[in-house]
Chain A
Amino acid sequence: MTELDLLYTDIEDDLRNVVRAVLAAHCDPGAVTALYDGDRSLVASLWKSVAVDLGLAGLLIPEDRGGAGASAREAAVVLEELGRFVAPVPFLTSAVVATTLLLGTDGPLLGQLAAGERTAALVTPFSTCAHGTFPTVSLGPDGLTGSITSVAGALEADVLMVPAEGPDGVAVYAVPADRAEITPVISLDMTRQLADITFDAVAGEQVVLHGESAVRRALEAGTALLASEQYGVARWCLDETVGYLKERRQFGRVVGGFQAIKHRLADLYTAVESANAAARYAAATLAADDADATVAAAVAQAFCGDLAVLAGEEAVQLHGGMGMTWEHPAHLYLKRAKADQIAFGTGGAHRSRLAELVDIPGPR
Chain B
Amino acid sequence: MTVDELRRTIEEFLAAHDPATTERLEFLRARYDAGLAWVYFPPGHGGLGLSPARQLEVDRAFAAAGAPDNNPEGNGIGLGMAAPTILAYGTDEQKRRFLRPLWTGEEIWCQLFSEPGAGSDLANVSTRAVRDGEDWIVDGQKVWTSGAHLAQFAILLARTDTGVPKHRGMTYFLCDMTDAGVEVRPLRQITGEAEFNEVFLTGVRIPDAQRLGGEGEGWRVANTTLNTERVAIGGRASDRESGIVGVVTETWRAHPDRRTAELHDRLLRLWVDAEVGRITGMRLRQKLAQGRPGPEGAAMKLTFARVAQQLSGLELEILGEEGLRYSDWTMVRPDRVDFNARDAGYRYLRAKGNSIEGGTSEILRNIVAERILGLPPESRADKDRPWNEVAR
B317 to chain A, nearest CB (A): 14
B349 to chain A, nearest CB (A): 24
Given A262-B369, A263-B369, A269-B372, are A278 and B276 also a contact pair (CB < 8 Å)?
A: yes
B304 to chain A, nearest CB (A): 10
Q: How far is the CA of A269 from the CA of B371 in the complex (A)?
A: 12
Selected from A265, A269, A360, the residue in CB contact (under 8 A) with B264 is A360
Within 8 A of B (CB), among A250-305: 253-254, 256-257, 259, 261-263, 265-267, 269-270, 273-278, 280-281, 299, 302-303
Where chain B touches its partner, the secondary structure class is: helix
B29 lies within 8 A of chain A by Cβ: no
Given A256-B376, A267-B365, A269-B299, are A354 and B282 also a contact pair (CB < 8 Å)?
A: no
**Contacting pair B282 A360 (CB below 8 A):** no
Residues on B with C-beta less than 8 A from A3 are: 53, 56, 282, 286
Within 8 A of B (CB), among A313-364: 348, 351-352, 354-355, 358-364
**Contacting pair B365 A262 (CB below 8 A):** yes
Q: How far is the CA of A256 from the CA of B366 in the complex (A)?
A: 11
Q: Mark A223-265, 1 if CB is under 8 A from B, else 0.
A: 0000000000000000000100110000001101101011101
A142 lies within 8 A of chain B by Cβ: no
**Contacting pair A270 B368 (CB below 8 A):** yes
Q: Mark B358-392, 1 if CB is under 8 A from A, else 0.
A: 00001011101110111111100000000000000
Within 8 A of B (CB), among A64-92: none
B303 lies within 8 A of chain A by Cβ: yes
A2 lies within 8 A of chain B by Cβ: yes
B285 to chain A, nearest CB (A): 9
Given A256-B375, A277-B282, are A354 and B366 also a contact pair (CB < 8 Å)?
A: no
A-B contact count (CB 8 A): 134
A348 to chain B, nearest CB (A): 8
Selected from B277, B368, B370, the residue in CB contact (under 8 A) with A274 is B277
Within 8 A of A (CB), among B245-273: 249, 252-253, 256, 259-261, 264-265, 267-269, 271-273
Residues on B with C-beta less than 8 A from A362 are: 259, 261, 264
Task: Write the chain B residue with the least CB distance to A256.
Answer: B375
B341 lies within 8 A of chain A by Cβ: no
A91 to chain B, nearest CB (A): 24
**Contacting pair A2 B3 (CB below 8 A):** yes
**Contacting pair B378 A259 (CB below 8 A):** yes
Q: How far is the CA of A355 from the CA of B271 in the complex (A)?
A: 10
B275 lies within 8 A of chain A by Cβ: yes
**Contacting pair A351 B376 (CB below 8 A):** no
Selected from B252, B273, B283, B374, the residue in CB contact (under 8 A) with A360 is B252
**Contacting pair A280 B302 (CB below 8 A):** no
Interface size class of B (residues with CB under 8 A): 35 or more
**Contacting pair B283 A280 (CB below 8 A):** yes
A5 lies within 8 A of chain B by Cβ: yes
Q: How far is the CA of A242 from the CA of B375 in the complex (A)?
A: 8
**Contacting pair A245 B375 (CB below 8 A):** yes
Q: How far is the CA of A269 from the CA of B280 in the complex (A)?
A: 13
Residues on A with C-beta less than 8 A from B253 are: 359-361
B60 lies within 8 A of chain A by Cβ: yes
B161 lies within 8 A of chain A by Cβ: no
A1 lies within 8 A of chain B by Cβ: yes
Residues on A with C-beta less than 8 A from B365 are: 262-263, 266-267
**Contacting pair A269 B273 (CB below 8 A):** no
**Contacting pair A2 B57 (CB below 8 A):** yes
Selected from B256, B286, B362, the residue in CB contact (under 8 A) with A5 is B286
Q: How far is the CA of A133 from the CA of B249 in the complex (A)?
A: 29
Residues on A with C-beta less than 8 A from B267 are: 360
A24 lies within 8 A of chain B by Cβ: no
Residues on B with C-beta less than 8 A from A358 are: 240-241, 271
**Contacting pair B378 A7 (CB below 8 A):** no
A165 to chain B, nearest CB (A): 33
**Contacting pair A1 B272 (CB below 8 A):** no
A52 lies within 8 A of chain B by Cβ: no
B296 lies within 8 A of chain A by Cβ: yes
Selected from B56, B272, B282, B373, the residue in CB contact (under 8 A) with A265 is B373
**Contacting pair B373 A299 (CB below 8 A):** no
Q: Mark B198-219, 1 if CB is under 8 A from A, else 0.
A: 0000000000000000000000
Q: How far is the CA of A296 from the CA of B377 in the complex (A)?
A: 38
Given A265-B375, A274-B280, are A355 and B53 also a contact pair (CB < 8 Å)?
A: no
Task: Write the chain A residue with the least CB distance to B378.
Answer: A259
Residues on A with C-beta less than 8 A from B256 are: 361, 364
A6 lies within 8 A of chain B by Cβ: yes
Q: How far is the CA of A358 from the CA of B241 in the complex (A)?
A: 10
Given A277-B276, A363-B259, are A265 and B369 also a contact pair (CB < 8 Å)?
A: yes
B366 to chain A, nearest CB (A): 7
Task: Write the chain B residue with the least CB distance to A304.
Answer: B276
Of A259, A273, A355, most B-chain CB atoms within 10 Å: A273
Residues of B that sit less than 8 Å from A by CB? 3, 53, 56-57, 60, 240-241, 249, 252-253, 256, 259-261, 264-265, 267-269, 271-273, 275-277, 279-280, 282-284, 286-287, 296, 299, 302-303, 362, 364-366, 368-370, 372-378
Q: Name 7 extra pairs, CB < 8 A, besides A2-B57, A277-B282, A360-B252.
A: A6-B286, A263-B362, A270-B368, A273-B296, A273-B299, A299-B272, A363-B259
A sample of 11 inter-chain contacts (CB < 8 A) reads A2-B3, A3-B286, A262-B365, A266-B299, A266-B302, A266-B364, A278-B280, A302-B269, A360-B264, A360-B271, A362-B261
What 4 pairs across the A-B complex have the smallest Cβ distances? A257-B376, A262-B369, A266-B368, A266-B365
